[in-house]
Amino acid sequence: MKRHYCTYFDHVYLDRGLAMIRSLREVDPDAAIVVLCLTPAVHRVLSSLAEPGVRLIRLEQFEQDNPDLFAVKETRCLRDYYFTLTPSLVCSVLQGVQPGDFVTYLDADLMFYSDPGPIYEAMVDASVGLVGHRWHWWTKRLEKYGRFNVGWVSFRNDAIGLQAARWWRERCIEWCYGCVDGDLFADQKYLDHIYARFPRVVEITHPGTNVGPWNICREALRRGPDGSIVVGDGFRLIFFHFSGLKEIRPHVWLGSLPSYLGPFSSFVRREIFQPYIGLLGRIRDEQGGLPADPPPELIVYVPPRRWRRVLGPLIRGAHRWAGHYFHVKR
């Protein structure tokens, strides 16, 4: 069974996307990866690099092939349109793989540390594989955003997998916005419905999957006897999800979102975040910096001005306490 993956990103995330692709190919050398290039700059750079096992799709061509998807583009901000793309990309890639093969969507801000084989072992009798957030107790208030995380979602090319992926695609075209509305949130909370609605859907519970700021305090991370990073009772770290990581000014990075105030241990700072940020810097150096094209205009919520003076210092202080700031010397 060949492992197929798909992802998408714009040129603002080019360094992260390349880090994810290269780390995945290092632990899964035969992986076939489809990248939906959200901006021309991504297609231009990746075409010149010709990364092994990577196939590129231009957004314009993808929209021509999916007219019902393109028809809703004007009804959504760019961020929400990106969310809407996810299941359409999965369905498109599923059409070109062998029966029984899995297609897995990956967020671009993942980093792989060991072979994802244990995930596939857990899905041996499944048609769909989902990875839970495994919320830490102080992030459980965020359960309204979904039990499962969209960073890794797998569908097998069989009757149930195809039906579930198409159902997800249809629902996202109907409604896909980055806000909670009842039991809906973006492309993500539909995964809760897939888990309840379809047979042969499994939750991947391996502690080394989808480790991220929402569960970083659940179990300790450390080096194992062989030098690998292990989680909890000796489970190898498979992939880490760097959700919320952003460069707030040159060489200064913020390693979480205000909602995830779990403190980072010295090991997590030293062995997870600092090497990853360093890798992003090396990729930028390799490419002569990120493409100079204007960044896409994503709509980001800004707190009302009258609250900034109160909330700003509190949030910054909480991040300093939690060890979320990284100052990188270049």
**Given a cut of 90, is residue 218 above it in pLDDT?**
no
Domain assignment present for residue 138? The answer is yes
Q: How many CA atoms lie within 13 A of 287 on its CB side?
A: 24
How far is 115 from 272, CA to CA, in rounded Å?
Answer: 17
Cα angle 223-117-98, degrees, rounded to a multiple of 5: 155
Strand segments, DSSP code E, in 85-127 are 102-106, 110-112
- Confirm if 243 and 215 have CB atoms less than 8 A apart: no
The answer to whether residue 102 sits within a structural domain is yes
- Whether residue 281 is contained in a domain is answered as yes
| 179: in domain | yes
Number of domains in the chain: 1
Q: The domain spanning residue 234 has which CATH number? A: 3.90.550.10
Neighbours of 39 (CB within 10 A): 21
In a domain, 48, yes or no: yes
Tokens of 164: 């579930």
Taking 70 as the threshold, does the pLDDT of residue 310 lie above it? no
302 within some domain: no
Whether residue 255 lies inside any domain: the answer is yes
- Give the range of the structural domain holding residue 273, as residue numbers without chain letter: 3-297+307-327
Does the pLDDT at position 307 exceed 70?
no
What's the average model confidence in pLDDT over 225-240?
95
In this model, does residue 220 exceed pLDDT 80?
Answer: yes
* 233 domain residue, yes or no: yes
Task: Please say whether the beta carbons of 203 and 132 come within 8 A.
Answer: yes
Calpha distance 43→11 (Å, rounded): 9
- Over residues 214-238, the mean pLDDT reads 94
Average pLDDT over all residues of the chain: 92
Q: Quick check: pTM over 0.85?
A: yes
Q: Which residues, including other chains, have CB under 8 Å from residue 205's CB and lie 6 or more apart? A: 122, 132, 134
Give 309's pLDDT tier (boundaries 50, 70, 90): low
